[in-house]
Amino acid sequence: MAKQPLNIGIVGYGFMGRAHSNAYKQVSQFFDLARTPVLKAACARDAAKVKAFADNWGYETTETDWRRLIERKDIDCIDICTPNNSHAEIALAAAAAGKMILCEKPLAMNGPEGLKMVEAVEKAKVPNMVWYNYRRVPACTLAKQLVEEGRLGKIFHYRANFLQDWTISADLPQGGAGLWRLDVAAAGSGVTGDLLAHCIDTALWLNGGIKDVCAMTETFIKERKHNLTGKVEKVAIDDACAFLCHFKNGSLGLFESTRYARGHKALYTFEINGEKASIKWDLHDLHRLEYFDHKDESRIRGWHKLHITDGDHPYMGKWWVPGLQIGYESSFVHQVADFIDGIAGGKPAQPDFRNAYETQLVLDAILDSAKVRQWQEVK
């Protein structure tokens, strides 16, 4: 029997537009789902570029105004892949039109804006989710299972880094396509909203809520040419951010993120130390989870490098034969699969807007703390 389609209208065609489109195309080939994503329409302001994107990925039609996309009766789900400063406006209109919404991270520019988005989707009762994709790297999902099974015991420490090096050159401009992440008006913040947002989402999911934070930020290059105005303008995003925190479960957190760690391209790592065991993960080796279990016999006790490619591992039974790896892009495939299962089963996949709003509140507390140079409670 033909499956019910899930008609996707995507807004934006950058890096994330590609990652999501790839996921919609692959998911039904690997997962048996109640609905099949259909690439119905791609939307962006530049008609020629959006047409080229649509042709490349197989979208049936294009639009140049997201309002027009939202009005369309043949679109079920709006996927927001635009810079952060347009997430709220598009999401509020999509919710009012009764569309399902998938939104890129971070949910919003700040907490108050995020709350409006949460209220809008809850009022409209539309399925919604935020693309914090790393939860669905199989090794990270296994980490969640191990924590939930109590294998680590009481947690003492949570440590995470997200290190990059792509903005070190002072000649790099800010603003416009590809470089909006450096423009505070489009991004809201720098590494805090872009990279630490991932670390915080994973941390809240694995280790529960954060009580308070003490942060420092730095902007190493103070001025850059702005691509939209052509003028040299102040850089108002954070290039680097580090923070300490207390989790509600009593454990201590230590987080660092920067775009100035020469040699690191996307080094997302986390480590959790518990009373009984520890785990660590590294995005550059994403199919491994390192596991140390204190109850192992002492002669053979040590860090086990688990290769997360077996049929028993999360999601892996859907892919290749044991031992063969999948990649970064597969985490997005898993997220679409879970979203569709959530709709079909009536149990929304996480993180939904309300869940992602918690990350937003931690981000706000971090930026406030760095500004006033004091500990800040997370609201």
Tell me how far, at minimum, the Cβ of 218 lies from ligand SOE, in Å: 18
Tell me how far, at minimum, the Cβ of 329 lies from ligand SOE, in Å: 11
Tell me how far, at minimum, the Cβ of 198 lies from ligand SOE, in Å: 6
Tell me how far, at minimum, the Cβ of 7 lies from ligand SOE, in Å: 26
| Per-residue contact string for residues 255-274; x = within reach of ligand SOE by CB under 6 A | -----------x--------
Kindly tell me the burial class for residue 372, based on how many C-beta atoms sit within 10 Å of its own C-beta (0-12, 13-18, 19 or more).
exposed
Tell me how far, at minimum, the Cβ of 164 lies from ligand SOE, in Å: 6
**Which lies closer to ligand SOE via its Cβ, residue 198 or residue 313?**
198
CA 165 distance to own-chain centroid: 19
| Cβ atoms of residues 44 and 50 within 8 Å | yes
Tell me how far, at minimum, the Cβ of 345 lies from ligand SOE, in Å: 28
Tell me how far, at minimum, the Cβ of 212 lies from ligand SOE, in Å: 25
**111-124 helix and 87-96 helix, angle to the nearest 10 degrees:** 10
Tell me how far, at minimum, the Cβ of 342 lies from ligand SOE, in Å: 22
Rg of the chain (C-alpha set): 21
**Which lies closer to ligand SOE via its Cβ, residue 134 or residue 247?**
134
Phi, psi of 324 (to 5 degrees): -100, 140
Closest-CA residue to 143 (of 279, 255, 304): 279
| Cβ atoms of residues 354 and 47 within 8 Å | no
CA–CA separation, 346 vs 369, rounded Å? Answer: 39
| Per-residue contact string for residues 74-113; x = within reach of ligand SOE by CB under 6 A | ----------------------------------------
DSSP state at residue 194? I
**Which lies closer to ligand SOE via its Cβ, residue 106 or residue 274?**
106
Q: Is residue 238 involved in binding ligand SOE (CB under 6 A)?
A: no
**Which lies closer to ligand SOE via its Cβ, residue 146 or residue 240?**
240
**Which lies closer to ligand SOE via its Cβ, residue 331 or residue 376?**
331
CA–CA separation, 27 vs 338, rounded Å? Answer: 10
Tell me how far, at minimum, the Cβ of 323 lies from ligand SOE, in Å: 26
Tell me how far, at minimum, the Cβ of 85 lies from ligand SOE, in Å: 14
CA distances for 298 relative to 146, 275, 289, 292, 303, angstroms: 21, 16, 21, 12, 12
**Which lies closer to ligand SOE via its Cβ, residue 15 or residue 303?**
15
| Cβ atoms of residues 8 and 37 within 8 Å | yes
Interface with ligand SOE in residues 154-173 (CB under 6 A) = 164
Type of residue at 10: I
Applying CB under 6 A, the site for ligand SOE has a residue count of 5
**Which lies closer to ligand SOE via its Cβ, residue 196 or residue 210?**
196
**Which lies closer to ligand SOE via its Cβ, residue 91 or residue 179?**
179
Type of residue at 53: F
| Cβ atoms of residues 112 and 139 within 8 Å | no
CA–CA separation, 95 vs 119, rounded Å? Answer: 10
**Which lies closer to ligand SOE via its Cβ, residue 128 or residue 133?**
133
CA distances for 134 relative to 35, 47, 237, angstroms: 23, 32, 24
Kindly tell me the burial class for residue 76, based on how many C-beta atoms sit within 10 Å of its own C-beta (0-12, 13-18, 19 or more).
buried
Q: Is residue 194 involved in binding ligand SOE (CB under 6 A)?
A: yes
Closest-CA residue to 216 (of 234, 197, 199, 191): 191
Q: Is residue 177 involved in binding ligand SOE (CB under 6 A)?
A: no
| Per-residue contact string for residues 15-44; x = within reach of ligand SOE by CB under 6 A | x-----------------------------
The secondary structure element, H or E, covering residue 115 is helix 111-124
**Which lies closer to ligand SOE via its Cβ, residue 332 or residue 353?**
332
Taking CB atoms, the residue at the shortest distance from ligand SOE is 194
Interface residues with ligand SOE (CB under 6 A) are 15, 164, 194, 198, 266
